[in-house]
Amino acid sequence: MAHEVPAWVDGRLMPMDKLEVHRRGLRHKAVSVFVLSGDKVLLQQRAAGKYHTPGLWANTCCTHPLWDEAPEDCAVRRLDEELGITGVTPVWRQQVEYRADVGGGLTEHEVVEIFSLSAPETLAVTPNPEEVQAVAWVARADLEAQVAATPARFTPWLRIYLRDHAEAIFATGG
């Protein structure tokens, strides 16, 4: 079954096939979540079977909302679907837009609603192997050092978020 995402075509928002959106580099809606525990962030390593950026490390959860799905609902849904995380309420941090080559002739051009939530490192996490091959809690400073040293191990969007939006993402309170 093809997954459709909300994308802008000729100035109109319409449902489009996800792969076609990425092939054409169309601007589309997305959601990203960062689960935080003190100065640490829960990262996921994308499953080897993902159609782009397989095996790369990303923030806790990233996805595209369903047509007419509220960003908050999308964030909660995908935390459960990708990582088995339930019973949480992510806090909206900001909307950002970026464009990045993700390899294989595909481009992400996303308008992203970014959420974060605080949770203990003992949070129950059950990765869906079709989505996630590993998870790790990493201190922000260590993550920034790892991204600087070996950027190719990390998704383009995580590198952009850390470079341009870290203060909003890692802000306390909400």
Identify whether 62 is a catalytic site residue: yes
The single residue of 61, 74, 82, 110 carrying the catalytic annotation is 110
Query: Catalytic pick from 61, 62, 108, 113?
Result: 62
Q: Cα separations (Å) of 72 from 9, 12, 69, 147? A: 24, 22, 8, 28
Q: Which of helix, strand or coil describes residue 18? A: helix
Locus of tokens 């990390």? 154
**Phi, psi at residue 130, to the nearest 5°?**
-75, -20
**89: region left, alpha or beta (phi > 0 left; psi from -120 to 50 alpha):** beta
Tell me 153's DSSP state: G
DSSP per position, 30-89: EEEEEEEETTEEEEEEEPTT-SSSTT-EE-SEEE-PPTT--HHHHHHHHHHHHH---S--
- Would you name the residues annotated as active-site residues? 62, 110
